[in-house]
Amino acid sequence: MEICIVGTGYVGLVTGACLAEIGHRVVCVDDDREKIAILNQGELPIFEPGLDGLVTRNRQEGRLSFTTDLKEGIGAATVIFICVGTPPLEDGDADLSAVEQVVRRIGELSSAYKLVVEKSTVPVQTGMWIEKTLKVYKGDQDARFDVASNPEFLREGSAIEDFLHPDRIVVGVEHSLAERLLRELYEPILNRAFTCPIHRRCGEAGPIPFLVTDIKSAELIKHASNSFLATKISFINSVADLCELVGADVELVAKGMGLDRRIGRAFLNAGLGFGGFCFPKDLQAFVKIAEKCGYDFRLLQEVDRINQSRISQAIRKLKDQLWILKDKVIGIWGLAFKPDTDDVRYSPALELSKRLLAEGVAVKAYDPKAMEKARRQLPSLVCCRDPYEAASGADALVVATEWKEFAGLDLTRVKTLMRRPVLLDGRNLFDRQKIKAMGFEYLGMGR
C-alpha cells in the first residue's frame, strides 16, 4: 500500500519505518527542514534501539522516503497517518493546532479517496472535528475521505518490538472500507508473516487481537490505558512511603502483589515517579477531557499529585543524610526519563537535577544517550564522560534512570572515588544488603 506519515517524531518515525519493513511504500512528511535533512543524510534525530538499521535498509530498498512537501507525500497515498505533536497547554488540555493545520492541508490538497488516520494521542471527539474540517476545506470535488482512529501503544526503548509484535491493534472506524484498508495494512503483523529485525521472532502461536470500535471509543482507549498505568505507578509509590514508615520493603510487597494474575508485576516499580512525553501529558489531558464533559476525575488528579511529589521526597532524603545541600557535589546517573532512550521530556532525573541546582548543588551527571539533550535544557549541568567521573568527589550519588550498564559497574571503585559514599537508589536498581555491606550509606525508595 501507499502510505503517508505526517510527523517524524518518535511515533511517526517508528510507524513509518515499521510499515516500510512489512512491505508498504511509505513517505514521511515533516515541516521541520532540518529534521528532514538529517533523515535524508542517513542519520536520525532521535535514539531508539534498532531504528537506525530499519530506516537505513528501507531507504536503500526504496520503500521509505522523507520530504517537507505534504502534497508530494499524500499524492499517491491511500492512507494518511497523522503523527504530529499534541503538547499540553497551560491548563492541561491538548494543543491540537498542529493536527488541525495538517487536516486543513490534506483537505485542500487531496484529489482522490484518502483514509485519514489519527495516530497522535488526541482527546475524544477529535475524529469528529477532523471529519468536519476535511469537509470544510475540501478543495477538489473528486476528493473523498474516511476518518479512523488507530492509537499507538509504543514504549520508548522497545518501540519497534511493540509495533511489530503488539499486544493488540485497535482501530476506530465508522465505515467498512476504512476497516478493510486497516486490516490489509496490518495483515503481515496480524499473520506474523515476517521476522522481527530486532528480536528475530516469527511464527509465535496465537493471533494478535484486532479490536474494531467506533472512533470515540478508540480515542478513549489510549488515554484510559496510559492513565491506568500511571495509576499503578503512583499507587506503588504511595505503598513505598508506607513501607518506609513501618519498616517493610516495597520490592517484596510489589513481588507479592504481582504474583496475582489480576494485578501483574509490570508498572509496580517504586522510585522517582513517571515521566516522558506520554504519561504526564495524557494524564492531564484525560482529566481535562472529563472536566469538559462534567465529570470530576479526582482519582487521576491525585495520581498526578503523588507523582509530582516524588522529587521533593528524593530531595528530603538527601537533606536528611547530608544536612545542608548548598555547595555539595551530587552525581546523577541517568538523565533520560527511562533507559534505552535519549528522551528527556518530563524526565524526573532532569527535574531532580534542576531542583538540586536551585539549592546551590554542583550536579555532575552521566547518561549513555541523553546528555546532549539534557545540556540544552540545563546548561549549568556538568556532563561527564562516564559514570565514574560523575561519582568522583561526590557527597552523594543518585541513580535516577535504571540503565543496565549501571548495574554492572565496579562499585568498589565508585566508593573510593566519592567524598562520602551516600547512594540514593532512586530506581531500586541495587541489592540493598550488598550495597550496605560494601560500606555505602544506602537510601532506597520504600526500602
- Per-residue pLDDT tens digits for 141-165: 889 999 999 999 999 999 999 999 9
pLDDT for residue 207 = 84
- Is the Cα torsion angle 201, 202, 205, 207 positive or negative in sign? positive
Q: Do domains 2-213 and 221-308 have the same CATH topology?
A: no
Classify domain 310-443 at the CATH class level. alpha beta
pLDDT for residue 196 = 65
Backbone angles phi, psi at 41, to 5 degrees: -90, 0
Q: Across residues 251-268, what is the average pLDDT?
A: 97
Is 293 part of the annotated catalytic residue set?
no
pLDDT for residue 206 = 72
Backbone angles phi, psi at 82, to 5 degrees: -95, 115
Q: Above 60 in pLDDT, residue 171?
A: yes
- Return the C-alpha cell found at 370: 541523553
Q: What is the mean pLDDT of the chain?
A: 95
pLDDT for residue 193 = 72
pLDDT for residue 242 = 98
Identify the band that residue 198 occupies on the pLDDT scale cut at 50, 70 and 90: low
208-239 per-position pLDDT tens digit: 999 999 999 999 999 999 999 999 999 999 99
What radius of gyration, in Å, describes the C-alpha atoms of the chain? 23
Q: Which CATH architecture has domain 221-308?
A: Orthogonal Bundle (1.10)
Q: Above 60 in pLDDT, residue 204?
A: no
Q: Above 90 in pLDDT, residue 200?
A: no
Q: Above 80 in pLDDT, residue 203?
A: no
Domain ranges of the chain: 2-213, 221-308, 310-443
pLDDT for residue 12 = 97
Highest average pLDDT, of 98-102, 201-205, 280-284, comes from 98-102
> Buried (b) or exposed (e) across 112-136, using 16+ Cβ within 10 A?
eebbbbbbbbbbbebbebbbebbee
Q: Exactly one of 83, 278, 383, 384 is catalytic; name it.
A: 278
Identify the band that residue 201 occupies on the pLDDT scale cut at 50, 70 and 90: low
Q: Which of 342, 401, 331, 398 is nearest to 374 (CA)?
A: 342
Q: Above 80 in pLDDT, residue 205?
A: no
Query: Rounded to whole angstroms, how far apart are CA atoms 400 and 445?
Result: 11
Strand-pair partners of 424: 398, 443
Task: Pick 195 or 248 by higher pLDDT.
Answer: 248
Question: Is residue 347 exposed (0-12), middle (13-18) or buried (19+ Cβ within 10 Å)?
Answer: buried
- Return the C-alpha cell found at 67: 520530504
Identify the band that residue 375 occupies on the pLDDT scale cut at 50, 70 and 90: very high
Q: Which CATH architecture has domain 2-213?
A: 3-Layer(aba) Sandwich (3.40)
Q: Above 70 in pLDDT, residue 285?
A: yes
84-123 per-position pLDDT tens digit: 999 989 888 899 999 999 999 999 999 999 999 999 889 9
At residue 318, what is the residue type? L
Q: Above 90 in pLDDT, residue 195?
A: no
Q: Which of 147, 13, 1 is nearest to 84 (CA)?
A: 13
pLDDT for residue 244 = 96
Residues in the chain: 447
Task: Pick 186 or 192 by higher pLDDT.
Answer: 186
For residue 42, the Cα-to-chain-centroid distance in whole angstroms is 24
307-346 per-position pLDDT tens digit: 999 999 999 999 999 999 999 999 999 999 999 999 999 9
Q: Above 80 in pLDDT, residue 262?
A: yes
